[in-house]
Structure 1
Amino acid sequence: MATKVTPISGFQEWLPADRIAELVVLDTIREVFELHGFASINTRAMETVERLAGQGEDADKEIYGVRRLAAGPDDAGDTSMGLHFDLTVPFARYVLENSGKLTFPFRRYQIQPAWRGERPQRGRYREFIQADVDIIDVGSLPDHYEAELLLVVADVFSRLPIGEYHIHVNDRKICEGFYRGLGIEDVTGTLRIVDKLDKIGADGVRKLLLEAGCTEEQAKQCLALAEIRSNDTGFVDQVRALGVEHEMLDEGLAKLAGIIEVANEHAPGVAVADLRIARGLDYYTGTVYETMLVRDPGYGSICSGGRYDALASDGKRTFPGVGISIGVSRLLGKLITEEGLTASRETPVTVLVAVNDEDSRRDSMRVATALRARGIPTLVAPKAAKFGKQIQFADRRGIPFVWFTGADGDQVKDIRSGDQQPADAASWQPPADDLRPSLVLPETP
């Protein structure tokens, strides 16, 4: 009996060439993270719901609960587990469990799937890959790490064909200090409302602020702060011009100015001080980041994060940290699905070894073994068909070279140019650019 296949929205499943493109991106991210001194960890997919919940206004709504289908009425333990919706919360738990075995400051990177129970839509998925870097310490964390993480992301994106982008940076202490200077007591609630500015506009935010108890003047000032944006330290004078004073505001302005100065020295044109950025999760306490593609800012942030001072604590010690997360699936949804980025071939194979006839297949296998031993991805032709068909087999898959064995010596053919040369499996090497698939941008008309 035939079974109808029903697609499930909110999941990415790539065809082979696109999957290779995804792997090239992931390998690039991993390479850069390691170049900057981050060590890899892996955490479990599930956490307790108690730990996952309470990290933001909507965090509990996004949690996928996990329960065995065969669980009985007395088996309540399973219902208290949920799939993690980001990698920061499980990382904080990991640090607490392993603090006696870790060397601080601990620099970690983590590339894993996460799951969110939100409505799938453009750029948003039920299951998605994140690539995180965090630096965490015991007791206190120097501010210079907050600028360093921005530069790590800039290094990653400089190696990928993502186009022009900006990392928008703010410090929650600016907002909190400003609100307190205005006499607003519900700082967290005000942050959450202002964070909706891009979604509901200034009039919508103003209305919500008034409903939350702000005066007309306070709402006006909150919106004025949120409109300040600068690619240099000029934002400091713009905030001062609003006439609000508070010690925490001074601290936040100094920190953000330092980050922008460092960014402009090492990655000019990348960072933007944007005082509307707040981030929805409650655990952020200082610097926050969101990254937008210049050509499509409405697509939303492809990389975000921030500083958290109290997410991890064992009651005696606090482990403050700062982290930033690249939304790999979100980024590739734009580059691959919408803009046609793909890989140069649909297989990692560099060389197809032709088979003259089935009696000589072992000769072809020996060549393949020799090439693989030197790190050259190699495939033996599945059939001893006519050479034209074997070349066609390679061409359809983007395999650049076909190897021919013969009593008078072997030859290798570049099927793109037609060039054919004598070759020895013990020494032949393809051009470096052909050894592995590469990313290919769609042709522009």
Structure 2
Amino acid sequence: MASKVTPISGFQEWLPAQRIAEQYVLDTIREVFELHGFASINTRAVEPVDRLAGQGEDADKEIYGVRRLAAEAGEPTELGLHFDLTVPFSRYVVENAGKLTFPFRRYQIQPAWRGERPQRGRYREFIQADVDIVDTGELPFHYEVELPLVIADVFSRLPVGEYVILVNNRKICEGFYRGLGIEDVVQTLRTIDKLDKIGADGVTKVLGEQGLSAEQIRQCLALAQISSTDTSFADEVRALGVSHPLLDEGLEQLTAIMAVAGELAPGVLRAELKIARGLDYYTGTVYETLLLRQPEYGSICSGGRYDALASDGKRTYPGVGISIGVSRLLGLLIGEEGLTASRETPVAVLVAVNDEAQRTDSMRIATALRTRGINTLVAPKAAKFGKQIQFADRRGIPFVWFPGAGEAGQDQVKDIRSGEQVDADPGSWSPDQQDLRPTLVSPDSVG
């Protein structure tokens, strides 16, 4: 008896044309990462649970434990699927430190898993595309300036529409809170980070329950409301009258980022002092990226500076990284807005088969075209040419090759869109560049 096929929520599966669009996005990301000097690595899917746990308020609840179905009752779950790529990367750095050249620039494009309730833009299994730079002992601040420029380069090549990279420095928040006399800085950061979710009244209530005074709460909210596309945010913070050395350091660093971005990527970055990121390992600059047409969709690219995540007890490897939520982004572009590819197959040419006795001739032509980098398929049946053309048309294949169809017995190729059919030699003919590979077909709303 056949079992019923039941969809599982929280997992993306695309149709062929959509998958080509996804691959186009992934290839573009990879090419830009390599253009900026990052080397690719791949890490295992699982990490020890005790390493994954405790990295943020919700991290422990989201970890998928991995164990054998035949495990004995009470056997502990020691391994978990990684919920991001930063934690496994930090372990990778420590394990391979003697074989890596620092500063080490890596990119990583892999799935991750989170055991949260699937909802719009949030999945149980999702692809992330990360770039990180780590060094030994000290990591120069200028890398924190560089990473958002890498993302700006990626998005300039993709149909994402208008976007903004929000940037803050946790030293500003921590220094400000310490200057106010707040003791539980981490909990305060976590609460302020929920401002968009629960609103100012909700944050006020939670902070009050955490023991903050009315004046401390007022100042925390005043800081969180500061936003600017230039360096003017620093004066606004100082005008609040709070002082602390860590606050001064954070203001100096964020000012430097905004100054460089204003020159090299004008209009892309915005200082937004309410963002802090929920993961506890961030220690400096933090980033979140919003699509301006749908800011409520949430961040599609985020990250930040971390100083103590990678350490072997003797040496620390500070780093800074930023991650594109590929599945989250494509859930909107492909799943909701209809981004797709110009055809459902990478094939540019279908070689017709005159009759089965001559199939080898068609295969020989296909081999010659493939040798020259032209994606080619041989027709599955020696049917009437009309049916073979129909086979190509249904799949979006633009050209059909007819062996020996010319008056002198030469091959011919037909553009089935225009109907033009010309003599062709498999050793020299090539399609136009725009027909060689499928292209993205962007929804009108993105432009």
- Tell me the equivalent position of 2:22: 22
Q: Distance in 2 between matches of 1:324 and 1:3?
A: 43
Who is 1:127 aligned against? 125
> Who is 1:98 aligned against?
96
| AA partner of residue 401 (structure 1) | F
Tell me the equivalent position of 1:36. 36
Which residue in the other structure is 1:438 paired with?
Answer: 439
Counterpart check, 1:293 vs 2:254 = no
Instruction: State the distance in 1 between where 2:348 and 2:6 align.
Output: 36
1:393 aligns with 2:395: no
| C-alpha separation in 1, matches of 2:154 and 2:400 | 34
Question: What is the distance in 2 between the residues matched to 1:192 and 1:136?
Answer: 25
Deviation string for 1:19-58 (max 9, x for gaps)? 1100000000000000000000000000000000010011
Instruction: Give the Å deviation of 1:73.
Output: 4.1
After TM superposition, give the deviation of residue 430 of structure 1 in Å. Answer: 1.3
Q: Among residues 259, 262, 272, which one is paired with 2:260 in the alignment?
A: 262
> Post-superposition shift, 1:422?
1.1
Deviation at 1:392, TM superposition (A): 1.2
Q: Give the C-alpha shift of residue 441 in structure 1.
A: 1.2
- What's 1:314 paired with? 312
Map residues 129-168 of structure 1 onto 2, 5 A cutoff. Answer: 129-168=127-166
Residue in 1 that maps onto 2:244? 246
Picking from 189, 194, 199, the partner of 1:191 is 189
- Structure 1 residue aligned with 2:271: 273
Paired letter, 2:32: V
**More moved, 232-241 vs 129-138:** 232-241
Q: Distance in 1 between matches of 2:392 and 2:238?
A: 65
Residue 405 of structure 1 corresponds to which residue in structure 2?
403
CA distance in 2, matches of 1:220, 1:413: 72
1:125 counterpart letter in structure 2: Y
SS in 2 for 1:245: coil
2-structure distance, mates of 1:162, 1:322: 24
TM-score (norm 2): 0.98
CA–CA separation in structure 1 for the residues paired with 2:444 and 2:327:
23
Whole-Å separation in 1 of the counterparts to 2:341 and 2:65:
36
1:12 alignment partner, SS class: coil
Task: Give the deviation of 1:384 after TM superposition.
Answer: 1.2
Instruction: Find out whether 1:52 has 2:16 as its counterpart.
Output: no
Query: Relative to 1, partners in 2 of residues 1:74 and 1:117: Cα closer, same or farther, differing over 3 Å?
Result: closer
Please name the residue that 1:371 is paired with: 369
- The answer on 1:2 being equivalent to 2:2 is yes
Matched residues in 2 for 1:196 and 1:75: separation?
A: 37
- Distance between the aligned counterparts of 2:149 and 2:113, measured in 1? 27
Quote how far apart the aligned CAs of 1:70 are: 1.1
| Matched residue type, 2:220 | C
Q: Confirm whether residue 423 of structure 1 aligns to residue 424 of structure 2.
A: yes
Q: Deviations for 1:57-80, whole angstroms, at most 9, x for unmatched residues? A: 11100000001001224854xx11
- State the percentage of identical aligned residues: 79
Please state how far the C-alpha of 1:421 moved relative to its aligned partner.
1.6
Quick one: distance in 2 between partners of 1:73 and 1:192? 37
Matched letter for residue 124 of structure 1? R
In the alignment, residue 421 of structure 1 is paired with which amino acid?
V
Q: Does 1:218 find its partner at 2:216?
A: yes
Letter in 1 for 2:3: T
1:336 corresponds to which residue? 334
SS in 1 for 2:99: coil
CA RMSD of aligned residues (A): 1.1
The amino acid of 1:118's aligned partner reads E
1:412 and 1:442 map into 2 onto residues whose CA distance is 32
SS in 2 for 1:260: helix
**Cα deviations across residues 142-192 of structure 1 (Å, max 9, x unaligned)?**
011011110110000000000000000000000001111111111101000
Partner of 1:220, secondary structure, is helix
Counterpart-to-counterpart distance in 2, 1:331 and 1:415: 34
Matches within 5 A, 1:355-370: 355-370=353-368
AA aligned opposite 1:417:
S
- Give the paired residue count: 443
The whole-number CA distance in structure 1 between the counterparts of 2:5 and 2:93 is 42
Q: CA shift at 1:396, angstroms?
A: 1.0
Report the alpha carbon displacement of residue 443 of structure 1 after superposing the two structures with TM.
Answer: 4.6
One-letter identity of the residue aligned with 1:278 = A
Report the secondary structure of 1:100's partner residue.
helix
C-alpha displacement at 1:195, in angstroms?
0.3
Aligned to 1:176: 174
Question: Displacement of 1:127 after TM fit?
Answer: 0.2
Equivalent residue, structure 2, for 1:81: 79
TM-score of the superposition, structure 1-length normalised?
Answer: 0.98
Question: Which stretch of structure 1 is more off in the superposition, 401-410 or 195-204?
Answer: 401-410
Once residues 417 and 38 of structure 1 are traced to their aligned partners in structure 2, the CA distance between those partners, rounded to angstroms, is: 43
User: C-alpha separation between the residues in 2 aligned to 1:195 and 1:54?
Assistant: 18
* Residue 347 of structure 2: aligned partner: 349
Worse-matched range after superposition: 285-294 or 257-266: 257-266
Superposition pairs of residues 105-116 of structure 1, within 5 angstroms: 105-116=103-114
Cα shift readout 1:395-433 (whole Å, capped 9, x = no counterpart): 111111111111621111111222222111011111111
